[in-house]
Structure 1
Amino acid sequence: MKIVFMGTPDFAVPCLDEIVRRQHLVQAVITQPDRPKGRGKKLAPPPVKEKALQYNLPVYQPEKVKDPNFIEVIKDLSPDCIVVVAFGQILPKAILDIPVYGCINVHASLLPQYRGAAPINWAIINGESMTGVTTMYMDEGLDTGDMIIKKEICIYNKNAGELHDEMAREGAILLGETLELVAIGRAPREKQCNEKSSYAPLMDKALGRINWSKSAKDIYNLIRGVNPWPTAYTTYDGEVFKIWKAKIVEKDCKDQPGKIVKVDGSGILVCTGQHLLSIEEIQFPNNKRMGVDEYLRGHMIHENRILGE
């Protein structure tokens, strides 16, 4: 099939790889404009652009896809299908109506659950045991189109970064299967049940602040769900530090939530609203990320202090 691919971040790269591997004709790759990155704020290309250039594919980077001139570019290409994976802009009806086989999206959840921008993170934060990837026909709504096929993925104890990479790989495989079904006219269409839908909004740095009055399980899920970004954090003696890894210790604690009850090389044991949490990997300002054992070789963490104050 003749395909126009729209995607931007790392999550979308395996899907572009899969389309090329299956020898579809990629007419163009549409991605977001280069953005300032890093301390030097130098312009950096999106990961999808870097991959497209490796394949010598034409790349377009419109500020707004609803620009009439850009819409004419897509019309002139006359693609059989537009594939959209974490593109970052909402497509207008004028584009949705162009391809013969429609616009197909790869979404990182088991729709209709977790529609929106951050489904991987919120599935972990909310303590789900299962998530997955869904391909769907796009409509004018936010992740509301008819579903094609799904793949379930167990979350286990993965953090958001680990789950992201697994879902990107599985999403690419699912996309390949979807395109084959579409090409032969055998792709199913299943309406989404809006009553069963949920929303996964954009995250911000404030989301990572730990509320120690919550249960150890909830805090554990938050730490995993915001790793690698925006990262869970709290304060010790007024200094903010990040928490990268922790584990639940199912023992009751009647002390004040946030109180450090024990410190040794295995971790910093903290009282929560329910049970204890052992902090295993931390990062203080101007320091690298490290295990608690390594940090304690050159620094002190005192018992009976209250985190978050």
Structure 2
Amino acid sequence: MKKVVFFGSIPLAKKCLDEIVLNEDVQLLGVCCEPINNGWREEESVYEYCQKEDIPILKLDEVPSLKADIGISVRFNKIISKEVIQSFAQGIFNTHGGILPEYRGSYCNINTILNEDKEFGVTLHYISEGVDTGDIVATKKVKVSEEDTGFTLYKKSEHLCYELLNEKFGLILNDKNPRIPQESLISDDRPANTYYSKKTLAKKELCDLNSSESLKVVKAFDSPHHEPAYIKLNDEKVYLRTTY
């Protein structure tokens, strides 16, 4: 029986923990998670689930001593140290909300629209010391439609992450999963992108509504839960949303 530690806090992570990880014959040693404080996520969080089910909630520095076999990370929001990574016999596997190696970092859904890509997807990969640089297990993609916004792609990414982990978890448990170095995928036609960061958010301010870029920016930042794109009139923000 494989010894597993889970990393993640948001409702998607709870769904993966409950419906995928705990559906297999594993020994769950504990979960690294924290309470969710933003109000737009209404579903049960991992923290709430662990309290209800009496599952041990771990701190990161407690993990190496457990000598686990496998780590599973679903949208975990903290950097995992080299010491923790190396304590796992088979490694830590992460669901990343973007296509690697092109989309490292965060806001991949938003940048997919800003870059006018035709495809969007998620990646299951090994966690390494670099950010989103570990070997790839698998990628799952969908077409980007004209109606897609940053938010709709985010929701699609949650569904894809769940599907991908569900499809590959059995292989991971049996240590038979693919392991593709990202360097082998990098070429002139398929470069590794620079890390996307919070600097992405600075792109939501528009200076000219007549620009060909304006609709793309509005779609990229459209969300019912976060500040959308805007233009300033007399130093006041006027927010812009799509009508889809």
TM-score (norm 1): 0.66
Per the alignment, residue 27 of structure 1 pairs with: 29
Runs of 5+ consecutive residues of structure 1 not aligned to the other structure: 39-45, 246-279, 282-309
Per the alignment, residue 162 of structure 1 pairs with: 152
Change (3 A) 1:13 1:77: same
Q: CA RMSD in A?
A: 2.6
Structure with the greater alpha carbon radius of gyration: 1
- Per the TM alignment, residue 84 of structure 1 is displaced from its structure 2 partner at its CA by 1.5
1:212 aligns with 2:212: no
Aligned counterparts, 1:243-258, within 5 A:
243-245=240-242
Name the CA distance, whole Å, in 1 between partners of 2:22 and 2:169. 12
Q: Share of identical aligned residues, percent? A: 24
Query: 1 or 2, which has the higher helix percentage?
Result: 2
Per the alignment, residue 103 of structure 2 pairs with: 114
Name the CA distance, whole Å, in 2 between partners of 1:21 and 1:141. 31
Q: Contact (CA 8 Å) 2:231, 2:238: kept in 1 or not?
A: yes
Change (3 A) 1:53 1:169: farther
- Per the TM alignment, residue 13 of structure 1 is displaced from its structure 2 partner at its CA by 3.5
Q: State the secondary structure of the residue aligned to 1:115.
A: coil
Change (3 A) 1:102 1:10: same
1:180 maps to a residue whose letter is: G
Q: Contact (CA 8 Å) 1:22, 1:176: kept in 2 or not?
A: no
How far does the alpha carbon of each residue in 1:253-307 deviate from its partner, in whole angstroms, 9 at most, with x for none?
Answer: xxxxxxxxxxxxxxxxxxxxxxxxxxx49xxxxxxxxxxxxxxxxxxxxxxxxxx
Per the alignment, residue 219 of structure 2 pairs with: 224
Structure 2 counterpart of 1:202, from 193, 198, 206: 198
Name the CA distance, whole Å, in 1 between partners of 2:150 and 2:11. 14
Runs of 5+ consecutive residues of structure 2 not aligned to the other structure: none
Aligned counterparts, 1:1-309, within 5 A:
1-17=2-18, 18-22=20-24, 24-32=26-34, 34=35, 47-60=45-58, 62=59, 65=60, 70=61, 73-156=62-145, 157-193=147-183, 194=186, 196-198=191-193, 199-203=195-199, 206-212=202-208, 215-216=211-212, 218-228=213-223, 229-236=226-233, 238-245=235-242, 280=243
Q: Contact (CA 8 Å) 1:11, 1:165: kept in 2 or not?
A: no
Name the CA distance, whole Å, in 1 between partners of 2:219 and 2:63. 40
Name the CA distance, whole Å, in 1 between partners of 2:180 and 2:104. 16
How far does the alpha carbon of each residue in 1:195-248 deviate from its partner, in whole angstroms, 9 at most, with x for none?
Answer: 5111321256543211326743x3222222222233111134653221121xxx
Name the CA distance, whole Å, in 2 between partners of 1:149 and 1:35. 29
1:13 maps to a residue whose letter is: K
Per the alignment, residue 305 of structure 1 pairs with: none
Name the CA distance, whole Å, in 1 between partners of 2:51 and 2:142. 31
- Per the TM alignment, residue 55 of structure 1 is displaced from its structure 2 partner at its CA by 3.7
Query: 1 or 2, which has the higher strand percentage?
Result: 1
Change (3 A) 1:164 1:98: same
Name the CA distance, whole Å, in 2 between partners of 1:224 and 1:101. 40
Change (3 A) 1:224 1:16: farther
- Length, aligned pairs only: 229
Which of 1 and 2 has higher RCO (CA within 8 Å, sep 6+)? 2
Which of structure 1's runs of 4+ aligned residues deviate more than 4 A? 34-38
Q: Contact (CA 8 Å) 2:36, 2:45: kept in 1 or not?
A: no
Change (3 A) 1:213 1:160: closer
Q: State the secondary structure of the residue aligned to 1:116.
A: coil
